């Protein structure tokens, strides 16, 4: 990032563009993501989509816990065969639950990344629109240590996103 900025500034010297004519802005992407209404809607869509599976996983864990408690409580009065069968059943259910949890996590991450990708594309579109509308020469995002409030266009990006249909 620093190399790109240095190269850009070096090209400015070569082409005799004065810094006084240069319009530079800054966008705080994490702040935009945090406040974008589209992010909240995406979060709700994900919750709605994955809630049934999450409840199923919780029910599985409760069933396993209940079986473990029964095993602990009744082990002394069970036959060797009953105890062995129950241990095997508990082990299989734990294995199935672990596999289901991993699948859930993978599926959730894939969908979250899809939603995030869509939102990031919209944000880039809005940023480019603002840059063109307001004749910015350069808009920066990540890696900025300091940005004067006069060049920070984050609030404008947030306003445009809020005005967009979800």
Which ranges of 37-79 does DSSP label H, i.e. alpha helix? Answer: 37-74
**Count of CA atoms in the C-beta half-sphere (13 A) of 25:** 20
Strand partners for 138 = 24
Residues of the chain with pLDDT under 50: 15, 17
What pLDDT shows up at residue 137? 84
What pLDDT shows up at residue 155? 87
Residue 49 belongs to a domain with what CATH number?
3.30.910.20
Of 93, 29, 26, which is closest to residue 66 (Cα–Cα)? 93
What pLDDT shows up at residue 21? 76
Evaluate whether residue 86 is within a structural domain: yes
Evaluate whether residue 56 is within a structural domain: yes
What pLDDT shows up at residue 109? 97
Query: pLDDT digits over 112-141, tens only?
Result: 999 999 999 999 899 989 988 988 888 888
pTM for this predicted structure: 0.69
Of 38, 25, 53, 23, which is closest to residue 127 (Cα–Cα)? 25
- Per the structure, the count of domains in the chain is 1
Q: Residue 138 belongs to what H/E stretch? A: strand 138-140
Evaluate whether residue 97 is within a structural domain: yes
Evaluate whether residue 111 is within a structural domain: yes
| Distance from C-alpha of 149 to C-alpha of 25, rounded to nearest angstrom | 9
Evaluate whether residue 8 is within a structural domain: no
């Amino acid at each position: 990032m620093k190399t790109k900025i240095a190269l850009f500034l070096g090209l400015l010297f070569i082409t005799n563009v004065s810094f006084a004519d240069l319009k530079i802005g800054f966008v705080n992407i994490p702040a935009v993501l945090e406040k974008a209404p589209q992010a909240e809607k995406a979060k709700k869509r994900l919750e709605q989509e994955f809630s049934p599976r999450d409840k199923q996983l919780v029910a599985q864990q409760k069933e396993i816990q209940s079986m473990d408690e029964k095993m602990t409580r009744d082990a002394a009065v069970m036959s060797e065969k009953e105890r062995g069968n129950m241990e095997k059943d508990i082990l299989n259910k734990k294995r199935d639950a672990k596999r289901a949890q991993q699948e859930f996590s993978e599926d959730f991450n894939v969908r979250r990344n899809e939603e995030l990708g869509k939102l990031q594309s919209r944000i880039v579109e809005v940023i480019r629109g603002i840059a063109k509308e307001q004749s910015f020469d350069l808009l920066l995002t990540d890696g900025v240590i300091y940005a004067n409030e006069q060049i920070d266009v984050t609030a404008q990006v947030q306003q445009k996103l809020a005005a967009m249909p979800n």
